[in-house]
Amino acid sequence: MDNLIRSEREARGWTQAMLAERLEVSRQTVVALETGRYDPSLPLAFRIAQVFEKPIEVLFTP
C-alpha cells in the first residue's frame, strides 16, 4: 500500500520521532510505515488520519 505519511510529516516539519510520539508508536514503526514495509492496522490508520487531519483515503492508496 502506498502512503503519504513521509510527505505529510515533512510538510509539518516533524521528525520521525515527533510523529511517533503523536501516534504512540516507536520511531521504527514510523520508518516502516514511510518505507511501505508495514501496513498499519485500521486503528493506527485512523490515528494517522486524525494526526494529519486528512481522510484515510487521501493518505493511503492500494
CATH of the domain at 50: 1.10.260.40
How far apart are alpha carbons 48 and 44 in whole angstroms? Answer: 6
Q: Is residue 39 part of a domain?
A: yes
Report if residue 20 sits inside a domain: yes
Q: Say if 25 falls within a structural domain.
A: yes
Label residue 62 by pLDDT band (50, 70, 90): confident
Report if residue 62 sits inside a domain: no
Closest CA to 45 of 7, 3, 10, 13: 3
Residue 27 lies in a domain: yes
**Based on the structure, what is the number of domains in the chain?**
1
Q: What is the C-alpha to C-alpha distance for residues 1 and 18, in angstroms, rounded to an integer? A: 23
* Residue 1 clears pLDDT 90, i.e. is over it: no
Q: Tell me: the pLDDT tens digits for 20-60?
A: 999 999 999 999 999 999 999 999 999 999 999 999 999 99
Residue 32 within any structural domain of the chain: yes
Domain membership of residue 23 as a residue range: 2-57
What's residue 18's pLDDT?
98
pTM across the whole model: 0.92
| Helix spans in 1-62 (H) | 5-11, 16-23, 27-35, 42-52, 56-59
